[in-house]
Amino acid sequence: MIVCSFTVFSGVVSAQPYTSPNYKVEEYFFGSGGEIESSSPNYKARGSAGALAVGNASSTSFALSAGNVTPFEEYLEFATTSGSVQLGNLSTSAAATGSATFYVRSYLASGYVVQTVSAPPTSESGATLNPLSSPSASTAGTEQFGINLVANTSPATFGANPVAQPDGDTSFANGAASAGYNTTNQYKYVVGDTIANAPSGKGRTNFTVAYLANISSITEAGLYTMDHDMVATPTF
């Protein structure tokens, strides 16, 4: 039996406002009217009376989101949305599979990466299931452990492709599975690998981790467990 659970760490890096030796602009808007900061002892609000432009633009040096008033505050959120994964009793005749979900939401970043940093499933005696060092298909009867972050059809129908929120709109949120973990029915596991990334740090993407385990006739018996730690890091 293999039980996989999640422990998530996230990092925050500060972004700097627009500055020169003579000025500093933390927030601005062009429109028919609005208020950057409106407050009283009981409330605090931001508002606008219309936007002259909407959408996103970027180059190698900058990124711009046009629309209604938004705060100039960097943000990264990384959370799991499912509990433990039970792969059951492993057999030499068939693969064991399972899946778990997490999401990353960010703002005012040039992108982010998600790395996996845990050892593969390990028994009480210290034996580990053989991690796949390169993308490989499932082979029953051969000791294997691997993951990917896409929808699969072999050895079972499980997993899912990353989904931008809301409604799959990738023009705003564009998280994706990384190379080595983005091919259907191919599994890999290397400690320290980047398993997901986004070229621009805006919006939320939902991810599904698909787990695969196979054993051979000489795999050491025991209870194998894995606390799956992942690290999300924004870039600026």
Tens of pLDDT, residue by residue over 216-233, are: 999 999 999 999 999 998
pLDDT at 71: 58
pLDDT of residue 15: 42
- Is 161's pLDDT higher than 60? yes
Residues 69-108 as b or e (16 or more Cβ within 10 Å = b): beeeebebebebeeeebebeebeeeebbbbbbebbbbbbb
| Predicted local confidence at residue 196, as pLDDT | 97
Q: What is the pTM of this model?
A: 0.76
Q: In Å, what is the CA distance from 101 to each residue of 79, 146, 157, 184, 187?
A: 9, 16, 16, 17, 17
Considering only residues 59 and 7, tell me which one the structure prediction assigns the higher pLDDT: 59
Average pLDDT over residues 127-143: 97
Residue 68 has pLDDT above 90, yes or no: no
CA distance 172 to 6: 27
